[in-house]
Chain A
Amino acid sequence: DSGVTQTPKHLITATGQRVTLRCSPRSGDLSVYWYQQSLDQGLQFLIQYYNGEERAKGNILERFSAQQFPDLHSELNLSSLELGDSALYFCASSDPGRALNTGELFFGEGSRLTVL
């Protein structure tokens, strides 16, 4: 158990809809990362937040947005969903102090999104 909690574990929705994925990082971790794992694109970095502020952006579509709240949990919002958005969405967290030593990111079990 990594200590990172993601909900929901599975989500099935229709094209054009909007969903929100939630992530609770490990206790004390200030950084939260979102990654997408799909069959055609593999694992891709989407976005990182640090203590409530956006820190880095990767291959995140404009239809997607994220935020990190004062209690450090994060949400990834996916809108105008398309079939190609079907994927496993991972949240990861890190402790900056620990990451400096090992570079370890702690990943949640992922939220599997299916768009029909």
Chain B
Amino acid sequence: AQKVTQAQTEISVVEKEDVTLDCVYETRDTTYYLFWYKQPPSGELVFLIRRNSFDEQNEISGRYSWNFQKSTSSFNFTITASQVVDSAVYFCALSTNNYGQNFVFGPGTRLSVLP
């Protein structure tokens, strides 16, 4: 069975602090895809990143970075110099299909960035 765990239910930081959101996944498949989605207060889900199981290279996009480690089945997300606009619920998700139809979402981490 596939499972995604986000142990941090809620995190509060002060603006400009760095914050890391943890994601641990379980799957028996050798080919799989990991995702991060952001759900701002407006409610829609916004795609942030996809990483496939064959690519453990870390990725940086502006203030966002992702650390994928197969050895620990983790796909952590770090926001550097957080901003108030980063306040949202962040979901980690796992799929064994490239088209995402078998998304298993984690419970989400609510991040509050205080001014």
Contacts and interface: CB of A to CB of B under 8 A. Distances in A.
A56 interface: yes
Contacts of A105: 45, 47, 100, 103
B32 to A, nearest CB: 11
Interface in A74-116: 88, 90, 92, 94, 96, 99-100, 102-110
Interface string A38-80: 0000111100100000011010000000000000000000000
Contact of A103 (B35, B43, B46, B107): B35
Contact of B100 (A43, A88, A94, A110): A94
B102 to A, nearest CB: 7
A47 B43 CA distance: 20
Interface residues of B, number: 25
Contacts of A107: 37, 44-46
B36 to A, nearest CB: 11
B75 to A, nearest CB: 13
B102 A33 contact: no
B98 A110 contact: no
Given A103-B95, A107-B45, A110-B44, A56 B102 contact: yes
Contacts of A108: 44
15 contacts: A43-B105, A43-B108, A45-B104, A56-B102, A58-B101, A90-B45, A99-B99, A99-B100, A102-B47, A103-B35, A103-B47, A105-B47, A105-B103, A107-B45, A109-B42
Interface of A: 2, 31, 33, 35, 42-45, 48, 55-56, 58, 88, 90, 92, 94, 96, 99-100, 102-110
